[in-house]
């Protein structure tokens, strides 16, 4: 008799019991609040705590999601780096309004950011590029991101060619690679609660640049 290995997704449930979230716990600045939760995620030894889901919509209206790594956080926004010829970069060029998600399930938390992605200057991108491990620098040059490839061996040959080309010196930042900063206008904090009565607070940025906080029903 064949064993049924199907997962019953519709019956899977668990209670969220890590703790609640109140207005008094929140910082007046959503960026400071993100920093607090990010520090707690790092201390909790989560895998890839700086990993965030980037959602874009391309010129054909097709939504796409992928994980990128947070590489800078300030009042100016959330920074990440990529190939400017990638699918995500083309989508941003067509529609710069994007969404970010930190999915910290182990802490029963999510942060959802809505904002506008802006390309960072070449100087900023070069400064960060020089801090990357050498093999990561080589990979940035070698990969024609999002383009088809015949097999992995081809990619490895491209990387070896770059390794030999820059064997005797520093590797400069490619002109086709750099950073984006997502300037937020909306940041939502979600904390799981018992019996599906979750806690949700959203910060919205007003015309004068001040943040207003509102609690939402789960």
Residue located via tokens 């910060």:
203
Are 73 and 166 contained in the same domain? no
Specify the CATH number for the domain of residue 82.
Answer: 2.30.110.10
Residue 5 lies in a domain: no
- For residue 12, is pLDDT > 80? no
Given pLDDT bands bounded at 50, 70 and 90, which one contains residue 208? confident
Decide if 100 contacts 115 (C-beta within 8 A).
Answer: yes
The per-residue pLDDT for range 56-73, each reduced to its tens digit, is 999 999 999 999 999 999
Residue 46 lies in a domain: yes
Are 88 and 103 contained in the same domain? yes
The per-residue pLDDT for range 138-196, each reduced to its tens digit, is 999 999 999 998 999 999 999 999 999 999 899 999 999 999 999 999 999 999 988 88
Decide if 179 contacts 79 (C-beta within 8 A).
Answer: yes
List the one residue out of 184, 154, 180, 183 whose CA is nearest residue 84: 180
Question: What whole-number distance in Å separates Cα of residue 200 and Cα of residue 38?
Answer: 17
Are 125 and 53 contained in the same domain? yes
Are 93 and 141 contained in the same domain? no
List the one residue out of 100, 99, 88, 107 whose CA is nearest residue 47: 107
Decide if 125 contacts 82 (C-beta within 8 A).
Answer: no
Are 44 and 82 contained in the same domain? yes
Question: What whole-number distance in Å separates Cα of residue 28 and Cα of residue 32?
Answer: 8
Are 144 and 189 contained in the same domain? no
Q: Give the count of domains, the chain.
A: 2
- For residue 15, is pLDDT > 90? no
**Residue 140 domain boundaries:** 132-172
Helix crossing, 134-142 with 152-165: angle to 10°?
120
Are 79 and 158 contained in the same domain? no
CA distance readout (Å), 46 to 34, 107, 113, 201, 217: 16, 9, 20, 23, 28
List the one residue out of 114, 134, 146, 126 whose CA is nearest residue 81: 126
Are 122 and 35 contained in the same domain? yes
Residue 17: the pLDDT is: 58
Which residue among 23, 196, 200, 204 is the active-site one?
196
- In the residue annotation, 196 being an active-site residue is answered as yes
DSSP secondary structure letters along 21-63: --GGGS-SSHHHHHHHHHHHHHHTT-SSTTEEEEEEE-TTS-E
Given pLDDT bands bounded at 50, 70 and 90, which one contains residue 4? low
């Amino acid at each position: 008799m064949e064993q049924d290995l199907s997962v019953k997704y519709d019956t899977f449930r668990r209670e969220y019991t890590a703790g609640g979230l109140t207005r008094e716990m929140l910082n007046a600045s959503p960026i400071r609040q993100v920093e607090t939760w990010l520090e707690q995620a790092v201390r909790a030894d989560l895998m890839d705590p700086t990993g965030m889901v980037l959602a874009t919509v391309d010129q054909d209206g097709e939504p796409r999601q992928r994980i990128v790594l947070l590489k800078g956080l300030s009042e100016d926004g959330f920074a990440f780096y990529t190939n400017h010829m990638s699918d995500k970069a083309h989508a941003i060029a067509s529609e710069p309004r994007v969404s970010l998600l930190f999915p910290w399930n182990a802490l029963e938390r999510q942060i959802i950011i809505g904002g506008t992605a802006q390309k960072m200057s070449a100087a900023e991108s070069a400064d960060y590029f020089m801090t990357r491990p050498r093999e990561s620098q080589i990979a940035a040059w070698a990969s024609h991101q999002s383009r088809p490839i015949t097999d992995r061996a081809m990619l490895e040959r491209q990387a070896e060619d770059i390794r030999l080309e820059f064997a005797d010196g520093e590797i400069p930042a490619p002109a086709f690679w750099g950073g984006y900063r997502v300037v937020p206008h909306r940041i939502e904090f979600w904390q799981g609660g018992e019996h599906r009565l979750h806690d949700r607070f959203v910060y919205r940025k007003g015309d004068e640049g001040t943040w207003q906080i509102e609690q939402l029903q789960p």
